[in-house]
A = this chain, B = another copy of it.
């Protein structure tokens, strides 16, 4: 028996965590990809709770960086970056509900080398940016194209092989009236770049508008904490998710569940505030759903809370705060 049968998705979801009909979302079926999370486009799919969606995602550059000699400054056309599949309208979803998205699988697709990472001006964790504005000359542009194999991983160099530990870099629901660049993580999810959003996890996303309007894209073959230079190992994929709907469970920001832990996710600046957002929501979750006193949860997390840095390069930084399920018994 899988842990999923005891997941919040299974216990609270309308489809009880069971898979329903499968929907295909190929490049052709998607048609236009999207660069904002918002309500101003028509859904590409309308599905019932339980739906399985098999989506062909693009990499963050929509495949435009084809070789190591390509110059991203000439090729990329801001703000048309980080293309997203969707939006998927979930029947029955209304403001105040929560979508549960179980990540069933992620596999690379397309002609190799499909992996791309690069350095470009005004972007990255250890360089000046538009926000952390400085006068120094930028680092030189550099592109790396790498073969990504779901079995053997990625050969970074003769001596270093990185495992294939893929996850969805950008996933979320639509804001109610805003339409926000898919480069940004926020209260609805978005570009969190958090490696925990990988195969086998369930991510919970607040529904802000009828149908929820789920978007996703930007899968990474692997990524370190912080996505330091700003560009993980980006790659196009076939990503399979299962969507459930939890009525009347209202969450302010994304949450995540795996077999071992539950996690709250905060995205803002500075990074201590993202951490505060994540930890406070975790405390409130422990209080609401697991019977903890808030102060008791605060003191317990002081002893056993865990923090994962997602990104330190996007318009908002992302932090996940988690607790092992084995401690969720006040």
CB distance from A125 to the nearest CB of B (A): 7
**In-complex Cβ contact of A279 among B159, B222, B226, B276 (8 A):** B226
A270–B312 Cα gap in the complex (Å)?
Answer: 12
**Cβ A139 vs Cβ B135 within 8 A:** yes
Please state the number of chain copies in the assembly.
Answer: 4
The chain B residue sitting closest to A307, CB to CB, is: B225
* Residues in chain B near residue A225, CB distance under 8 A: 305-307, 321
Size category of the A interface is: 35 or more
CB distance from A59 to the nearest CB of B (A): 15
Please give the residue numbers on chain A whose beta carbons come within 8 Å of chain B beta carbons, in ascending order. Answer: 35-36, 38, 40, 79-80, 117, 119, 124-128, 130-140, 142, 144, 156-157, 159-160, 162, 175-181, 222-233, 252, 266, 268-273, 275-277, 279-281, 283, 294-295, 298-307, 309, 312, 317, 321, 327, 329-330
A130–B268 Cα gap in the complex (Å)?
Answer: 10
- 9 A-B residue pairings within 8 Å (CB atoms): A38-B178, A119-B299, A134-B134, A134-B276, A135-B283, A159-B330, A179-B180, A232-B302, A271-B271
**Cβ A178 vs Cβ B176 within 8 A:** no
